A and B are shown apart, each in its own frame.
Chain A
Amino acid sequence: MKISAPRQYVVDNLKYALSPSSIAVVGASRYSTKVGYKVIEGLKNWGYKGTIYPVNPRAEKIHGLKAYKTVMDIPGEVDLVFVAVPAHLVKMVLEHAVAKKAKMTVIATSAFKEIGRGDLQNRLTQFCRDNKLPLIGPNLVGMGSPYLNFNCGFIPYLPIKGPVAMISQSGANLLAALGTSQTSHFGMSFFVGLGNKADVDFAEFVAYGAKDPNTKCISTYIEGLDSPEAYVKACQSVVREKPVVAIKVGGSKIGVKAAFAHTASENEGTDDAYYDKIFEKAGAIRAGTWQEFLDISLALGMQPELKSDNVVMITNGGGSGLLACDHFERVGMPLTELKDISPSLIQKIRAYMPMFGSPLNPVDIAGTASPIQYKGAFRQALRDPNVDGVIGSICPTAVTDVPAVTDIAIEIYETYKHLGKPFIMECQGGGECNESIMKLRDHGIPAYPTPEQAVNAMVALRKYAKIKKMIG
């Protein structure tokens, strides 16, 4: 249901969705293969420190915990009611939650608007709104935060700690992102699946992300915006402090139908241009593909904005440099030659490359580059007042000491990060490159396996600078 702006009581209560002192799991099951069991198992296994109240009218005990027939039978206060019962029982559970004065409710249950029960979904939503009980969902997978060891839902992963708040309408893609977080060291501050977003909307989680100290970038996976006005308002109030990334799917001819069947998203009458305008107005940075969405979210979460187009790329591989400079041009931000950025930098950087290297831009310090040469080139580029951002690239030749160069990159970044210049790494190769990427990410440096990904990341940082300037 529509909202025109983020509602304060909702934003205030979202902390109970991500950091509740107590949770009632309605639909808790005694069977280890069922969702209602997995939710509690997940909470316990990931180290949730609060109180868990299983609710099941049939059971005495679940997961070793005393079970209650209804939420109202729970003796203590209930911050969060997590609902995992069939759709036909949700109304009753919501009434119990209101009677119990719960602070927040999350509905994992499907079979509402997405299967044609829009009226029922709306009536339940209105009931929650009338009683100031924010409702997340229905039809969602869950939410959590690695900073709080909190994983609530039927989610097999807890992401690693990091700067990106992942607000997703799709459970599957959220799970994909969480899996990626573990395997690719994509750090998150919190995550939530909004599902049908009957009540709590993107806008309110965006506003919450602004207040969350661990969040540096707010990323939104959108299948349809029911309340574009609220989204725009929320983003506008946030983007001065924190960037917002958006990916909008379900715009293709058949995607419109698929998005409705998935999360009841209504896209009739909208097209890509419509969403372009919304994101532009909101100051959100739009990603075109899932990979780009993750890549630029990571960069925006880890690095400051890029204040000018003056980016220098330093690589030991001419090929990766070419891929990068072509892509820079393709996306509308061509690299400037080094002589036009900073003539003196050419001479300074020559000291760190063999005679067959190239000080053009990309700067090719050649396949024989040692860690010392990398260190010098990085340092010179970052310290140059005319340079506003650096992309470092490692190609694993037979003489390249990838781990040592990785350590150099980390050292240089730590030394010069106070300058506020984005520093991005690209490492295209095998296992040692993958390890390098993980290590770099763990140290706050966005690192990618292809030059194009690194370029996209740098371009997003530039876009963010322009958005900040425009909003003032």
Chain B
Amino acid sequence: MTNQANSTGANKISTLVMAAIYITLILSIVAIGVGIAAFYETGTYEVTLYLLAIGFIAMALSGYYLLQSRKHTANLKIEAPKILTTIECVKCSIKTTRDFQRGDYVYKEIEKCSKCEDMQVITAIYREPTAKEKEKEKPAAV
């Protein structure tokens, strides 16, 4: 997926945007530096305050866009969830869980039970929610 993302126009635009963001970030640091230097050289607050304000606003903006672009890149990845298969022995009720294998389906009879030699069946195939999903689905306070 990531390689594919690089081949689309999305990356072309984001390179330009990223360049602009980095330039703004550098300029904002320069503005803060010049502001502080101006204070020590001239001793006046006004210019220093303006330059610091410009520097911090520009830094905040470029930081925000930098975070946004990181979020965008992260969003482009489609996560493959982990699928689990529960196998159960109907006679002795022993449950085991393993990773899903192609060809598994619920109520498929598979290998014999190690205890009672009865056939075991798949009783469930499911995916565990990711930590992100769990966080999203926390019960509402209202």
Chain A complexes with chain B: no
Report B's interface with A, CB cutoff 8 A: none
